Structure 1
Amino acid sequence: MGVIYIGDRRAGKTHLAMESSNPRGYYVKGSEQIYQNLKALLYDKAEGKTLATEARQSTYRRTLDLQVRTRLRYKHILVDWFDTTGEIWRDSWQSNNPQEWNNFLEVARGSEAVILILPPHRDLISLTSSVDPEIDEDPGPFPTLKQWCNRFDEWVKFFRQDFLKPKHLLICLNKADLFCDLKQEAEKLAYNPDSYAMDWLDRHQYVYNRYFTPIRDRIKQIDAVITGLSVRCFITSVKERSLLELPWLYLANYLEEI
């Protein structure tokens, strides 16, 4: 049993996963070879951003192999990363591609933990975009609050109907550089093995109450239906390593060697 990494379109999944494998991380590192291979495959140096997921396939399955340093020892985390073009979550696609959908569910149901990546919604960006003068006033492709909540309803349906065995669900609100003061939040939330100022439950409660207010009731629905599940909320960004590493550090502290 391992970890499955999934999420919404345009949530920054690819860049976040790639940088999680950066061998120059603080407490979370991948191999130099894997990191360079991912950059060559998924990153456009000229544009300074990751490439869009190609539509030739509905699902791309990749592996992240991470070493995480906790207070006591290093732990190895092996991650199944499913990158999709969006069609896989539609009922029509699932009906027309039963074998591919069942293959995905087989892997998903055998995972001990899930990392779900969400994009910010427009209301969140517009309320706080003044923290960074480089942020464009136009929220562009990001969903409205209503669209964001409706999309999360689909995740609730998925976890309640198709995904009943994970012990840990980590919900990451990504691209935090668009909606908060990264330095301030990193100072508050960052992992420090020599300090117990904020534990994992404290971090979850802070992020859950501050950034997940519109879907807190929906998160409770997931928590209630899966026996023994621990749901934890995070904010992440490729522009702040200490926030990026928190989900992996949490898993390393709570899972056996995987």
Structure 2
Amino acid sequence: MGVVYIGDRAVGKTHLALALTKSKGNYVRVNLVNQNNQNIQANLLNLDGTIKPTKTIEKCSLNVEVKLPIGVSKISVDWIDSPGELFRRSWQFEHINEWQNFQEIVSKSAGIFLIVPPYREILQPHIDRENFITRQQWCNRFNRWVEFFINDCSQPRRIIICLNKADLINCDIEQEISLLSYLPHGSNLNWLQRHNYVINNYFQPVKSELEKINQSRSGLSVRCFITSIYHRNLLELPWIYLASYLDN
């Protein structure tokens, strides 16, 4: 049983996945199945590096290897790109086969890896905020994911939610890396403490919604992280967590 890798449109899923394949990491190694970086970039990226609009649900596979103290854990990942209209009833009705296939893949997964963008109010002052949605829009979009997790994800035991592009957030990124980084024999924080820290500092507007997901069924665990393609320690962290618990 594998993991599904999904997220909002133009949130950086492609760049995150490619960043994990391009450089040698400390604990995480990602391999594209039957594809290479050039193919992925040709299929999903424009020449200027921006994301091509996704009109249908598209899937490719990743193999993720995570080096843990007990050995190497291997995770099979279905990376799914979906249209921005995915949760509109009209789109689901017009693309009923695609929607049902998507639901089936998710329902059989052991974990969900969701990537979400930052919102305007937490960005650094010099960032062009017109390229980002407001906090209220962000909360509204997040609520659609919450409904999806509660109503359509009965199987996954772990849901990982990553606030991406942490390098754009108004914070001391080096301090956050130092605090949150994984060390196999003595990290500053355990997984629950990391989650609570990230929730209180970056997911506060949807804290009650996250509780709804956790309480929707017994045995489900939701954990939140911040990620950035420019900071490998943050990039690897959710995969290390996922491997640690899926191995149990």
Render the CA deviation track for 1:64-103: whole Å, top value 9, x for unaligned. 1111101221111111011122122211100111111001
**How many correspondences in the alignment?**
245
Q: Which residue of 1 aligns with 2:200?
A: 209
State the shift of 1:140 in Å. Answer: 2.3
* Partners of 1:177 and 1:239 within 8 A in 2: yes
Render the CA deviation track for 1:126-180: whole Å, top value 9, x for unaligned. xxx15xxxx53x2122110110011111111111111122100111000000103
4+ residue runs over 6 A deviation: none
How high is the TM-score relative to the length of structure 2? 0.92
CA distance in 2, matches of 1:124, 1:20: 25
Indicate the percent of aligned positions where both proteins have the same amino acid: 44
CA distance in 2, matches of 1:42, 1:99: 22
Q: Which residue of 2 aligns with 1:53?
A: 52
* Partners of 2:45 and 2:51 within 8 A in 1: no
1:167 corresponds to 2:165 = no
CA distance in 1, matches of 2:191, 2:52: 33
* Partners of 2:29 and 2:64 within 8 A in 1: yes
* Partners of 1:23 and 1:31 within 8 A in 2: no
> Which amino acid is 2:7 matched to?
G
CA distance in 2, matches of 1:255, 1:104: 22
Paired residue secondary structure (1:92): helix
* Partners of 2:162 and 2:225 within 8 A in 1: yes
State the shift of 1:110 in Å. Answer: 0.2
CA distance in 2, matches of 1:29, 1:220: 32
Q: Which residue of 1 aligns with 2:129?
A: 139
Q: 1:150 aligns with which of 140, 153, 158?
A: 140
Paired residue secondary structure (2:138): helix
Q: Which residue of 2 aligns with 1:197?
A: 188
State the shift of 1:31 in Å. Answer: 3.8
Q: Which residue of 2 aligns with 1:38?
A: 40
What residue ranges of structure 1 are gaps of 5+ in the alignment? none
* Partners of 2:180 and 2:188 within 8 A in 1: no
CA distance in 2, matches of 1:53, 1:228: 37
1:107 corresponds to 2:105 = yes
Q: 2:65 aligns with which of 54, 64, 67?
A: 67
Render the CA deviation track for 1:29-73: whole Å, top value 9, x for unaligned. 1248744543454456x74x3x31344x41110111111101221
1:11 corresponds to 2:2 = no
CA distance in 1, matches of 2:69, 2:36: 25
Q: Which residue of 1 aligns with 2:234?
A: 243
State the shift of 1:182 in Å. Answer: 2.0
CA distance in 2, matches of 1:54, 1:150: 21
Give RMSD over aligned pairs.
1.9
